[in-house]
Amino acid sequence: MDATRQRILPGTHTEADRHAAYRAMHFAAELLVRAGRSVILDAPYRHGDDRDDLARAVAASGARLKWIECHIAPEIAGERQRVRGFDAERADLDPGVVAKRARQHPYTGQGLRLETGEISTEECRRRIEEYLGTA
């Protein structure tokens, strides 16, 4: 989602920009599905309005939605942010903010649940491929 936002609205990051980026990403995905392609969207979907817009795009395209939710303990999320360090594009993120967001994330409880702080990247990939039927 951040790449979409930067592409259509470079250098900005407001609430309105986030909404626009999600809508643009969903519209592009809808067009690709209608053209017979499979699409994977990578975004946190922390806000209900973004999830609602995704549901509308899925319904309009006739696609089937498969959720993959990456869960992580807040302490691990904060530590990963600390190790990554400052990011000028996401200057509001620090280890405390990231840990708080991990603690408060509104998971759907649908689809594939991955405990990303407990399993390797390779195991995550294997489970995703199995879930999507691409293994």
pLDDT in tens, 16-74: 888 899 999 999 999 999 999 999 999 999 999 999 999 999 999 989 999 999 999 99
Of 19, 48, 40, the C-alpha closest to 107 is: 48
Closest CA relative to residue 66, chosen from 18, 118, 133, 19 = 133
Residue 135 in this model has a pLDDT that exceeds 90: no
Pairing of strands 68-71, 112-115: parallel
In angstroms, how far is CA 115 from the centroid of its own chain? 15
- The runs of H, that is alpha helices, within 35-133 are 48-61, 74-84, 95-104, 121-132
Going by pLDDT thresholds of 50, 70 and 90, the confidence category of residue 92 is confident
**What is the pTM for the complete model shown?**
0.82
